[in-house]
Amino acid sequence: MLRIGCHLSSSKGYLAMAKTAKSIGANTFQFFTRNPRGGAAKPIDPEDIAAFLEYSEENDISHILAHAPYTLNAAAKDERIREFALMTMRDDMERLEHTPGSMYNFHPGSHVGQGTPRGIELIVSLLDEIITPSQSTTVLLETMAGKGSEVGGKFEEIAEIISRAKNPGKLGVCMDTCHIFDGGYDIKESLDAVLDEFDRVIGIDKLYAVHLNDSLHGYESHKDRHAKIGEGFLGTETFRAVINHPKLRSLPFFLETPNELDGYQAEIALLKSLYTE
Chain residues binding Fe ion by CB under 5 A are: 142, 176, 211
Contact of 170 with 240, CB cutoff 8 Å: no
Stretch that binds Zn ion, among 41-49, 119-127, 165-173, 216-224 (CB under 5 A): 216-224
The nearer residue to Zn ion, 67 or 95, going by C-beta atoms, is 67
Contact of 137 with 98, CB cutoff 8 Å: no
Stretch that binds Zn ion, among 17-25, 105-113, 116-124, 223-231 (CB under 5 A): 223-231
In the complex, the smallest distance separating the C-beta of residue 56 from Zn ion, rounded to whole angstroms, is 27
Report d(CA 79, CA 85) in Å as an integer: 10
In the complex, the smallest distance separating the C-beta of residue 12 from Zn ion, rounded to whole angstroms, is 24
The nearer residue to Fe ion, 176 or 267, going by C-beta atoms, is 176
Report d(CA 256, CA 51) in Å as an integer: 26
Report d(CA 239, CA 84) in Å as an integer: 36
Helix axes 191-201, 236-244, angle to 10 degrees: 50
| Cα angle 101-104-106, degrees, rounded to a multiple of 5 | 165
The nearer residue to Fe ion, 55 or 70, going by C-beta atoms, is 70
182 binds, among Fe ion, Zn ion, none (CB under 5 to 8 A by kind): none
How many helices and strands in the chain, by DSSP H and E? 9, 12
The nearer residue to Fe ion, 15 or 234, going by C-beta atoms, is 234
* Binding track over 79-108 against Zn ion, x by CB under 5 A: ------------------------------
The nearer residue to Fe ion, 124 or 180, going by C-beta atoms, is 180
Residue in 224, 229, 242, 252 binding Zn ion, rule: CB under 5 A: 224
224 binds, among Zn ion, Fe ion, none (CB under 5 to 8 A by kind): Zn ion
The size of the chain, in residues, is: 277
The nearer residue to Fe ion, 3 or 15, going by C-beta atoms, is 3
Q: Tell me how many residues contact Zn ion (CB under 5 A).
A: 1
SS3 for 106?
Answer: strand
The nearer residue to Zn ion, 160 or 224, going by C-beta atoms, is 224
In the complex, the smallest distance separating the C-beta of residue 147 from Zn ion, rounded to whole angstroms, is 9
In the complex, the smallest distance separating the C-beta of residue 96 from Fe ion, rounded to whole angstroms, is 16
Identity of the amino acid at 88: T
Find all residues with CB under 8 Å of 242, minimum gap 6, and list them: 177, 187, 191, 210, 212, 248
Find all residues with CB under 8 Å of 107, minimum gap 6, and list them: 68, 70, 72, 142, 144, 150, 152
> Does residue 150 bind Zn ion (CB under 5 A)?
no
Report d(CA 3, CA 208) in Å as an integer: 12
In the complex, the smallest distance separating the C-beta of residue 73 from Zn ion, rounded to whole angstroms, is 15
In the complex, the smallest distance separating the C-beta of residue 243 from Fe ion, rounded to whole angstroms, is 16
In the complex, the smallest distance separating the C-beta of residue 51 from Fe ion, rounded to whole angstroms, is 28
Binding site for Zn ion (CB under 5 A): 224
